[in-house]
Structures are given as structure tokens and as C-alpha cells.
Amino acid sequence: MNENGAIPHSSKPTHYTLLGLHPSASVIEIRRAYRELSKRYHPDTTDLSASDATAKFQQLNEAYATLSNPERRFTYDLKIGYSPFGVIQPPPSFNKFIPSGYDWTKSAYLDATDRPLSGGELFALFILVVTFVGCLILAVAIGITRGDSVSPTAITQQLSNITSVTTPF
């Protein structure tokens, strides 16, 4: 810490700044940036002095080796203070006491009419209706192919046959 109490920033650039990338860069972007910069700073192809080119090329290799390995990249991100995950903050009223006489009918979680159905929910309902209609059509088709009749007279006739069999008279 310096005399102001602040943590001084390292003069060494991060691997991301060496490659000219944001910490949320994808693996493809990292590879593309590394290839472009390695061609530019390779000691055999650059106009820089051999010692400067070699140092820059070694830094690029180290940065790429760290960022191309998922485990090493995660550890490095934690080290520099970057988190790819959004931090979830509790709502401000999280620890607020809710009285026992609270009107739960005002809760958005219990009232389904507060919001329209999402696309996924509408699709699920559509699939449910199509399945139900398909089952009905299949049941009717099977009944017709077997020769079963579903007319009211056939049902009453079957019921009378059942009652005549079960009655001893």
C-alpha cells in the first residue's frame, strides 16, 4: 500500500492487455490475437531489435499459454480480480421482517395473471394440446378399425347385456 492507503497497480500489463483483448474474450479471439501478434513480434520477422522482439514474443507466449488453458485462465482471472460470473446481490429488503398479517395475495409469485406466458410455456401448452388431440384421434381410429361402435344405442345394448348376465332372474 502507498501513503494514501491505496494498492498500487502493477506496472506489468495483464495477459489480456498484451493480446489487446477484454477479459471476457472467447478462446477463438484469444487464438486469433495471439497468432496475429506472434507474427508481428517474432524475432525472425520483426523490425525490432532481437532482444526486444524476444522479450515481447516470450510475453505473448506466456500470455497465450495461460489464457488458452481453461484452468490456468480461471486461476489467472481470480488473481487479477476479474470474475466472468455476475455477482448476485440480495434485494435491499432481504433481511426485512415480514409481519404475520402480510397480504400474500399481493405477491407476484402467487398470482399467475400478473404476467403473460413466455414463449416456452406457450410451446409446452401447444405440444400438450397436440398430444391430447392426437390421442383422441388414435383412440377413435382404433375403435373404427376394430369395428366397435360408439353410438348411444350400442352403449345401451352393451349395458343391457351386462345387467342381464349379472341378474339371476
Asked whether residue 92 is assigned to any structural domain, the reply reads no
Using CA atoms, how far residue 110 sits from 2, 57, 106, 107, 114, in Å, is: 54, 60, 8, 6, 9
Looking at residue 169, its amino acid is F
- Final residue of a domain: which of 80, 98, 125? 80
pLDDT less than 50: residues of the chain: 1-8, 108, 110-111
Q: What CATH number is attached to the domain comprising 70?
A: 1.10.287.110
Total domains in the fold of the chain: 2
Which pLDDT score, from 0 to 100, does residue 86 have?
58
Q: Do 19 and 64 have their domain in common? A: yes
Asked whether residue 104 is assigned to any structural domain, the reply reads no
Which pLDDT score, from 0 to 100, does residue 117 have?
77
Which pLDDT score, from 0 to 100, does residue 48 have?
84
Asked whether residue 56 is assigned to any structural domain, the reply reads yes
Which pLDDT score, from 0 to 100, does residue 125 have?
94
Q: Do 23 and 68 have their domain in common? A: yes
Range of the domain at 39: 15-80
Q: Do 19 and 76 have their domain in common? A: yes
The sign of the CA dihedral 52, 55, 58, 62 is negative
Q: How many CB atoms lie within 10 A of CB 42?
A: 14
Q: Do 19 and 72 have their domain in common? A: yes
Asked whether residue 63 is assigned to any structural domain, the reply reads yes
Asked whether residue 97 is assigned to any structural domain, the reply reads no
pTM above 0.75, yes or no: no
Asked whether residue 39 is assigned to any structural domain, the reply reads yes
Q: How many CB atoms lie within 10 A of CB 165?
A: 7
Which pLDDT score, from 0 to 100, does residue 111 have?
47
What distance lies between CA 141 and its chain's CA centroid?
Answer: 42
Which pLDDT score, from 0 to 100, does residue 64 have?
92
Which pLDDT score, from 0 to 100, does residue 99 have?
60
Q: Where does residue 90 fall: left (phi above 0), alpha (psi -120 to 50 degrees), or beta otherwise?
A: beta
